[in-house]
Structure 1
Amino acid sequence: MPHITSHDGTRLYYEEAGTGTPVVFVHEFAADYRTWEPQMQRFSRSHRCVTYSQRGYPPSDIPNDPDKYDQAKFRDDVIAVMDSLKIDRAHVVGHSMGASTALHVGIKYPDRCISVVAAGCGYGSSADPKTVEASRAASRDNAKMFSSHTMEEGARIYGDGPTRQSQKYKDPRGYAHFVKMLGEHSSVGHAMTMANLQAKRPTLYDMEADLKKFKPPLLIVVGDEDEWCVDASVYLRRTAPTAGLLVVPRTGHTITSEEPDKFNAALAELFADAERGRWLAHKPSK
């Protein structure tokens, strides 16, 4: 099984397909490298596509050290994947937890990004400190839930959250596949990620100064049923100068697999415009 070794020695499983301009896919909390299959099949026809399981997600390593789950390490894992595969620049496509990581890559390493995608981004972000703390407390509670249940039980509980309901009823087969894959993860990895990344990472509002200077072309995608992320996505669009926003109707948080055709169409437009230097063609040149 192919692995790369990140900067702190954590081994990350990856798969790649296709040739051409590189794309690196960064999955959400309730996902792994397999979740990007609709995108891998579509874009490996024209691009070099890389998908990987983040630290804490099999078949990648599952560290027991809480210090190995901070946002900077997840961010630098993207660069480690690119470095190991000799990729100088790529489209960095992130979903939810992965979208936050993609934004941090775009901030810290803008020259490595042809473009950045932030889909379903912003859980826990608010201008209200009480709301932020409530979200952090929910993440800590989820960490305890994963620690006290089998992974299969935890998957059924977490996977039945309010922002997953549109997929559950719209696409029962796809939803069942999502829960099944979630149940194959690691309880330790999920508890560690919730307690040390989700409950501690900076909010979008904390990142405002950096977001106002964001350089790579940025596409924000959110489902209008994704109550966690709609307001945060609008805030992100208003803050990052290179951002465009797509709101997909009647769609929840699992947007990349719930509406893959619409999501893929948006990616195709971004990739083409960013590669031609035309993403901001609608604005006056400075």
Structure 2
Amino acid sequence: MRWQGRRGSRNIEDRRRMSSGKAVGGVGGLGLLAIIAIGYFLGIDVTPLLEGTQSISTGQNVEITAADERAAQFVSVTLADTEEIWTEVFAEQLGGEYIPPILVLYKGVTQSPCGSASGATGPFYCPTDQKVYLDTDFFTTMQRQLGAGGDFAQAYVVAHEVAHHVQNELGILGQANAYRAKASETESNAVSVMIELQADCFSGIWAKMADEKFGSIEHGDIREALNAAKQIGDDTLQKNAGRIPQPHTFTHGTSEQRQHWFATGYKTGDLNACDTFSADRL
């Protein structure tokens, strides 16, 4: 991915040097789903986090390495790209204005209105404050534990979380979560899958238009994104955790579904093509 030397975003809230003594409690909403997903793959017992009984201690001295700074610059450029692309999409396809989110960079532990965040939770979007939360150490987890390396795989993660903000801006996320709050667990999971697959599709739209506008995609980049989508599919995560996949527990979609919807967005560049809620087949 060609990103060096390009404009970074001003919508970055850098908390990496802000040390929290400890974080108590789990993460709600989409962050909760991230905890579960990583727990499946790594074999971590996430029950304490889900029950709000886990305390995570952090040191008082937070060292920012050269790798941290490079990752932060990469995230900033990627976020700036999403701002330009979604501003254009909203204007051209919706005749509306796009208000971008703030992206919170942290290292170790931080707090959000959706609950405590740590490197173990993975990136998430909190609709309460309309911010994306990201510990760039997750990129190392992607490469080493999830088998999803590459800079464009990392860009896909940022684009996916921003896509949840797009859903929030469009009123989709609020309606879907309101339904989930009243639905059975199985029904709630099914709607969660639709939310996540639509975010994958929106990420594909971003990738297509970013390439057209910035010429940022290099050979192999889309393959990296598709591989990342595959590695974080619910069925793959459960299999890699030594479990038999149980579709009724899926919250993000299968590897095939996640790849399909990313590809749909990338091929069409059309918001209407990403309507997972009305699709005959996911």
- Give TM-score, length-normalised by structure 1: 0.29
Q: Which has the higher strand share?
A: 1
- Give TM-score, length-normalised by structure 2: 0.29
